[in-house]
């Protein structure tokens, strides 16, 4: 049920974005949208102060629940609340330093008016982050208790409420400042809902005395390498915008940010199955059920590869027409940026469950070191490429970094050290490629001879045609007996509901 709600939430988010994003782009204009995105990308670096504790919270809560150790669980929750509160204070102080130095960072590319607006946006954003740190503890507890249905239900409500309120403030003329105020209020409200749920429904209790020093050291060791991975994620998803803001301007940031939005949606849809695996994998590790871990790895990886390939190929075929119709000709370059980044992510997404396995087995060190190296490479390449090729330059750098970091090197580590049968997995996945190539060829012929327009009707027909081809081809020639059984089960369930 949690997985179904996750897909519903992602589908709803996609539909809302289709309506909301072009409205926002037109209300703000390209320059102010770029400014808004630039501020968010800069402030996002403060989120690394989580230090990987969110994942640690989920892992160790699941571990203590599996062991039945309620006392350690309560003590750990109290300890985390104290730590997160301190982190919130530190993030606010660091954020103020960013506000004071914003002229130094962007004075060469932003106007005086844009710098003034950026300071206001940044101050509100750092307040939101500072308050969110201690409150984020409660959503981690809920996930550790595997109450995914509640989490997804709340997220769906938030998805619907946020754009409605933002559209309201935009119509009232408050623009980017109004947007960030609304976002802050909604964030605070929903974090408080998680807090109430933990205390009232889950009956979570916290002990603020006698913290276990040995546990603190163990969690610190575990979290440190996840922290490094979080830094890398920030570099992937924020640094390129900051680089473009420093060497180009807000228009280039706007185009790249739109591409990043599309790419994040791609990752969310493709990775929903692996995003809920950590508590389950931790239980398997505690019980030393390593065969089950490998079985789950291959099972989920197959599904994620199919999903990622479907979305990627669909975007390759109709993405350009869609972006021009959706956002306007000014954002056409976002298509090429998205294709590059998505292409670099497909193979990594296929084996994302491996990240959860590393976290569950506390084997994060190597991945974190590799990711840091790749991140440094990304920045090193992105700066000169941004100067030479503007917004497409950092996308090329990210493609290289993501493909080699998330796929090539990590595949070897999963196989050699994590006990995952990556060779067997890719032997299965490679067999999918002829089918996907045939589907693409058939669609290309259909598109070439039947539809040349780029209006909304033509895009819809093209999308439906590709989806039908992909679904039929995948069901007949890609899915194994277990996967077909699951599909048939879902179809039967829907028919019974009717």
**Are 496 and 388 contained in the same domain?**
no
In terms of residues, how long is the chain? 498
Which of 403, 430, 457 is the C-terminal boundary of a domain?
A: 430
**Are 464 and 402 contained in the same domain?**
no
Q: Are 352 and 269 in contact (CB under 8 A)?
A: no
Between 44 and 472, the higher pLDDT residue: 472
CA–CA distance, 119 with 446 (Å, rounded to integer): 51
Residues 6+ apart with CB under 8 A from 429: 301, 302, 305, 350
Q: Are 166 and 182 in contact (CB under 8 A)?
A: yes
Largest CA distance in the chain: 73
**Are 194 and 247 contained in the same domain?**
yes
**Are 383 and 472 contained in the same domain?**
no
pLDDT tens-place string over residues 245-258: 888 888 888 899 88
Domain of 72? Answer: 2-430
Between 149 and 244, the higher pLDDT residue: 244
Residues 6+ apart with CB under 8 A from 405: 348, 370, 371, 373, 374
Q: Rg for the chain (alpha carbons), in Å? A: 23
**Are 253 and 353 contained in the same domain?**
yes
Residues 6+ apart with CB under 8 A from 287: 66
| pLDDT confidence band for 396 (50 / 70 / 90) | very high
Q: What letter would DSSP give residue 202? A: S
Give just the sign of the alpha carbon dihedral 79, 85, 90, 94. Answer: positive
**Are 193 and 121 contained in the same domain?**
yes
Say yes or no to pLDDT of 153 above 50: yes
Which of 430, 459, 476 is the C-terminal boundary of a domain?
A: 430
CA–CA distance, 402 with 102 (Å, rounded to integer): 30
Mean of the per-residue pLDDT values for the chain?
82
Residue 172 to residues 124, 125, 161, 177, 227, Cα–Cα distance (Å)? 19, 21, 17, 12, 40
Residue 181 to residues 129, 209, 401, Cα–Cα distance (Å)? 12, 37, 35
**Are 179 and 228 contained in the same domain?**
yes
pLDDT tens-place string over residues 163-220: 888 888 888 888 888 888 998 999 899 989 999 998 888 888 888 876 777 777 777 7
pLDDT tens-place string over residues 401-422: 888 777 788 888 888 877 788 8
**Are 172 and 216 contained in the same domain?**
yes
End-to-end Cα, the chain, rounded Å? 18
**Are 326 and 289 contained in the same domain?**
yes
Between 488 and 285, the higher pLDDT residue: 488
pLDDT tens-place string over residues 318-371: 999 889 888 888 889 999 999 999 998 888 888 888 877 777 776 767 777 777
Q: Give the side-chain half-sphere CA count within 13 A for 88.
A: 17
CA–CA distance, 363 with 365 (Å, rounded to integer): 6
**Are 305 and 411 contained in the same domain?**
yes
Of 219, 321, 288, 235, the C-alpha closest to 47 is 235
Structural domain tally of the chain?
2
Q: Give the side-chain half-sphere CA count within 13 A for 151.
A: 21
Residues 6+ apart with CB under 8 A from 346: 305, 308, 309, 312
Residue 31 to residues 82, 250, 254, 331, 335, Cα–Cα distance (Å)? 41, 5, 7, 12, 19
Record the pTM.
0.73
Give just the sign of the alpha carbon dihedral 306, 312, 318, 319. Answer: positive
Cα–Cα–Cα angle for 238, 272, 224, rounded to 5 degrees: 50
| pLDDT confidence band for 2 (50 / 70 / 90) | very low
Residues 6+ apart with CB under 8 A from 391: 244, 248, 252, 255, 256, 333, 337
Say yes or no to pLDDT of 473 above 90: yes
**Are 213 and 332 contained in the same domain?**
yes
**Are 272 and 143 contained in the same domain?**
yes
Which of 373, 402, 430 is the C-terminal boundary of a domain?
A: 430
pLDDT tens-place string over residues 42-83: 777 777 676 667 777 777 787 788 777 788 888 888 888 888
């Amino acid at each position: 049920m949690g997985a179904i709600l996750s897909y519903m939430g992602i589908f709803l988010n996609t539909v809302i974005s289709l309506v909301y994003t072009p409205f926002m782009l037109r209300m703000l204009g390209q320059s102010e949208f770029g400014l808004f995105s630039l501020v968010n990308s800069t402030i996002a670096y403060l989120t690394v102060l989580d230090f990987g504790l969110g994942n640690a919270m989920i892992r160790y809560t699941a571990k203590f629940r599996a062991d039945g150790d309620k006392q350690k669980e309560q003590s750990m929750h109290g300890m985390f609340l104290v730590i997160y509160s301190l982190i919130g204070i530190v993030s606010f102080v660091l954020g103020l330093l960013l506000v004071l130095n914003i002229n130094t960072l962007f004075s060469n590319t932003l106007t005086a008016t844009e710098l003034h607006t950026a300071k206001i946006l940044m101050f509100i954003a750092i307040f939101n982050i500072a308050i969110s740190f201690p409150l984020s503890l409660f959503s981690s507890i809920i996930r550790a208790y595997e109450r995914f249905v509640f989490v997804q239900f709340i997220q769906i409500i938030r998805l619907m409420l946020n754009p409605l309120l933002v559209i309201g403030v935009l119509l009232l003329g408050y623009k980017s400042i109004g947007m960030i105020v609304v976002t802050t209020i909604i964030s605070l409200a929903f974090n408080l809902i998680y807090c109430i749920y933990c205390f009232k429904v889950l009956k979570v209790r916290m002990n603020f005395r006698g913290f276990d020093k040995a546990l603190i050291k163990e969690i610190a060791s575990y979290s440190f390498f996840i922290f490094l991975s979080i830094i890398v994620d920030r570099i992937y998803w924020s640094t390129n915008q900051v680089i473009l803001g420093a060497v180009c301007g807000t228009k280039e940031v706007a185009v790249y940010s739109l591409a990043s939005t599309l790419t994040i949606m791609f990752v969310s849809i493709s990775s929903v199955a692996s995003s809920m695996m950590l508590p389950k994998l931790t239980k398997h590790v505690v019980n030393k059920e390593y065969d089950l871990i490998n079985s789950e790895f291959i099972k989920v990886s197959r599904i994620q590869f199919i999903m990622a390939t479907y979305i990627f190929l669909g975007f390759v075929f109709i993405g350009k027409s869609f972006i021009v119709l959706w956002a306007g000709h000014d954002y056409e370059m976002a298509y090429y940026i998205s294709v590059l980044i998505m292409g670099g992510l497909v193979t990594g997404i296929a084996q994302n469950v491996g990240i959860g396995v590393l976290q569950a087995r506390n084997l994060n060190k190597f991945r974190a070191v590799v990711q840091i190296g790749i991140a440094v490479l990304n920045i090193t390449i992105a700066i000169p490429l941004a100067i030479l090729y503007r917004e497409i330059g950092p996308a090329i750098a990210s493609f290289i970094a993501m493909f080699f970091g998330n796929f090539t090197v990590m595949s070897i580590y999963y196989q050699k050290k994590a006990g995952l049968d990556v060779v067997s997995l890719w032997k299965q996945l490679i067999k999918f490629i002829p089918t996907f190539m045939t589907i693409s060829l058939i669609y290309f012929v259909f598109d070439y001879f039947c539809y040349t327009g780029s209006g909304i009707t033509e895009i819809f027909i093209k999308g439906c045609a590709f989806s039908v081809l992909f679904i039929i081809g995948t069901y007949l020639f890609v899915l194994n007996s277990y996967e077909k059984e699951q599909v048939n089960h879902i179809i039967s369930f829907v028919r019974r509901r009717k």
